[in-house]
Structure 1
């Protein structure tokens, strides 16, 4: 069978392509720019965009299972979920996974209301967010200054999200399930800095800011380099930096039980423990070195 992977060059998609190929499956990868895809040999790369549901008919031809993402290139939820679900059903797709973003869009309810066998993937914090959030600061100065240094989360390796998706696409027993996907351990920012220091062999430090210091550092001295803010607000000029920083302070200061409790989904679905942050840090150590 042919499995379609949307977002194939993204953080999770590229791992999913690899997992499926290694399992012997035929993979078709959807990307907006095939010339820049840099995917493994054996992958059928096709041009397309989930925002153009009318153009998905040739992409879905011969596909029996599909991995869908619920957001477009700007991380905003898709507005055309019913059209995507209808196109998949017309093409004969029987099974789909849906990778959620920061917000639920129109895709999830449309797929759940269809005859498609669906599995929802709801990862918590990606380990890879550390690259976007911290790599530049740690390379340049070896220090991260943020509020709430004891906030807790169970970050998940992107390859483990992909492994759960691969199982749901190729095995029975996952239809109708919503998987909250976490890593195998609960960590604080201080823990992550310590682990990154061990992986890089550098003296890295975390300095906790008070809310007042945060406002000064992130508003008066420039916008915080936070992927979360971009995913939620995008580049909307109508939303001021102050509003964004207040939002982030609330997010950092709130207790997030679901995101800070190990779910065990990775091991339950794949049969092996999830990868640790130390493993991820070792794989990406060079990104945190000058």
Structure 2
């Protein structure tokens, strides 16, 4: 039995689906079971990973745990201690490629991620562990650019020459499943990226090719972008940290590794593949 936190998220949902497809028993943790929409056969339980006591009974019979840093937060040491006490032997923890950077250089912290603390708790837990240090998710482009693309052919943003090696969330979930089901990855901090470094300008142009539209990236001053993002209701601290990240990395290629290829025995999905599979979401 595997217990999955963050089970309805962009990584947790495909991870649950993959585990089920391979015959594994899955117990999915959510705060809203009625809206979970998970596959038949998944045991959906209502609990809050940030309150480990609410998960105590959910750990009975569980051998492997998928740990989401935003779901569990600073309660990770307590939850992992409880998991070990209840017989869990392995944890796969979602982390990020920038986990070792200065904390104020990690924008996702301002949206609640505690990658550094949760990864450290997993390593120190006494359980078998695997850390999935992921690059930026491809689906972030849908959140950042989807509205603009549905409205027209120009994507406006800062730092056209900032590069990402975006990872397909399905690849990340597949590596997570391998981390739980096999012994090959135990004790490793895997730096998981997409197969190619592409600038914002290149990402938009490629997306335009997939959609059959003349999309282009129009660079705006960072301050104008900050004001626009905050005006749309985004956390200002997150926006400031994100733009600072872009400024530090502008003009330099993103880190690209072959860890996905090695873990899965096949090439990582490309940006073009992700864009093709998600093209409908960008149509008006």
TM-score greater than 0.5 by the shorter chain: yes
**What SS does the aligned partner of 1:260 have?**
coil
Question: Does residue 1:38 correspond to 2:29, yes or no?
Answer: no
Number of the residue aligned with 1:4: 3
Which of 266, 278, 281 pairs up with 1:272? Answer: 266
Number of the residue aligned with 1:238: none
Number of the residue aligned with 1:241: none
How far is the alpha carbon of 1:92 from its aligned partner? 0.3
How far is the alpha carbon of 1:202 from its aligned partner? 2.0
Question: Contact 1:182/1:259 (CA < 8 Å) preserved in 2?
Answer: no
Count of aligned pairs between the two proteins: 268
Question: Contact 2:198/2:253 (CA < 8 Å) preserved in 1?
Answer: no
**What SS does the aligned partner of 2:230 have?**
coil
Tell me, which stretches of 5 or more residues in structure 2 are unaligned? 97-107, 109-113
Q: 1:144-190: per-residue Cα shift (whole Å, max 9, x none)?
A: 11222111121000000011110010001222100111011111111
**What SS does the aligned partner of 2:74 have?**
coil
- Runs ≥4 residues deviating over 6 A: 256-259
How far is the alpha carbon of 1:224 from its aligned partner? 6.4
**What SS does the aligned partner of 1:99 have?**
strand
Tell me, which stretches of 5 or more residues in structure 1 are unaligned? 235-243
Number of the residue aligned with 1:184: 195
Inter-partner Cα distance in structure 2 for 1:37 and 1:67: 17
How far is the alpha carbon of 1:233 from its aligned partner? 3.5
Inter-partner Cα distance in structure 1 for 2:134 and 2:252: 10
Number of the residue aligned with 1:171: 182
Question: Does residue 1:128 correspond to 2:139, yes or no?
Answer: yes
Q: Using a 3 Å threshold, how does the CA distance of structure 1 residues 222 and 268 change in structure 2: closer, same or farther?
A: closer
Question: Contact 2:149/2:282 (CA < 8 Å) preserved in 1?
Answer: yes
Number of the residue aligned with 1:67: 66
Number of the residue aligned with 1:22: 21
CA RMSD of aligned residues (A): 2.3
